[in-house]
């Protein structure tokens, strides 16, 4: 019973996180309907989304003690320290990208503001460094709880984060218009673009 409840909460929280995060990255579209208060409302949506994401993280941890009865081993066949090393290898670059993105986005990370300009720094290399840093962290949790099932389940978050980024870009096009479209042409979505060298004459 407890494994099923834990997994059900994980699924529902993942769904609600996605819904509220999409709402949180759409302040410009919402402003057209309700005015300047849209940005405050979207900041609230972002906080709610963060709470549901933390609930999912707790569900991952609880899964270690309450795994589903599946035709999979509950743990990996190797020693736990191997899983810890794999988790660390994923966590280091992921946290770097996420924290660099947070630093360069500033307060917009949690509180969108109408007057905020387009980001610089690492955002001149990839358009969504926070997303690229965040979704691999589910594999970090999965390896830290030594769970083959959660490692497989975490792949489902790739399309979720892709959808979140696409939703955010729709709103950024409303906010910044041509400037953001030119930025999209210049900077890669999740992977840096390789710019050919300028020809010299």
Q: Is residue 194 assigned to a domain?
A: no
Length of the chain: 201
| pLDDT tens, residue order, the chain (201 aa) | 999 999 999 999 999 999 999 999 999 999 999 998 999 999 999 999 999 999 999 999 999 999 999 999 999 999 999 999 999 999 999 999 999 999 998 877 777 777 777 778 999 999 999 999 999 999 999 999 999 999 999 999 999 999 999 999 999 999 999 999 999 999 999 999 876 444 443
Scan for tokens 């696409």, then name that residue.
166
What pLDDT score does 2 carry? 94
Q: Is residue 92 assigned to a domain?
A: yes
Q: Is residue 195 assigned to a domain?
A: no
Whether the predicted model's global pTM rises above the 0.75 cut: yes
Q: Is residue 197 assigned to a domain?
A: no
Q: Is residue 119 assigned to a domain?
A: yes
What pLDDT score does 120 carry? 83
What pLDDT score does 195 carry? 64
**Side-chain-facing half-sphere of 105: CA atoms under 13 Å:** 20
Q: How far is CA 131 from the centre of its chain?
A: 4
Return the CATH number at 41. Answer: 1.20.120
Q: Is residue 198 assigned to a domain?
A: no
Q: Is residue 141 assigned to a domain?
A: yes
Count of the separate structural domains present in the chain: 1
Q: Which domain holds residue 142?
A: 2-186
Q: Is residue 164 assigned to a domain?
A: yes
């Amino acid at each position: 019973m407890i494994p099923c409840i834990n997994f059900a909460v994980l699924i529902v929280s993942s769904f609600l996180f996605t819904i509220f995060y999409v709402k949180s990255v759409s302040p410009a579209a919402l402003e057209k309907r309700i005015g300047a208060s849209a940005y405050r409302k979207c900041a609230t949506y972002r906080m709610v989304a963060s709470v549901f994401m933390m609930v999912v993280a707790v569900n991952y941890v609880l899964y270690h003690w309450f795994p589903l009865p599946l035709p999979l081993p509950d743990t990996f066949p190797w020693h736990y320290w191997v899983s810890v090393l794999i988790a660390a290898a994923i966590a280091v670059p992921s946290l770097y990208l996420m924290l660099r993105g947070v630093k360069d986005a500033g307060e917009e990370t949690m509180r969108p503001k109408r007057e905020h300009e387009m980001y610089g720094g690492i955002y001149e290399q990839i358009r969504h460094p926070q997303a690229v840093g965040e979704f691999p962290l589910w594999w970090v949790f999965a390896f830290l709880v030594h769970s083959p099932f959660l490692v497989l389940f975490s792949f489902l978050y790739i399309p979720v984060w892709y959808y979140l980024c696409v939703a955010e870009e729709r709103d950024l096009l409303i906010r910044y218009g041509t400037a953001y479209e030119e930025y999209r042409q210049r900077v890669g979505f999740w992977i840096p673009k390789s710019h050919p060298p300028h020809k010299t004459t």
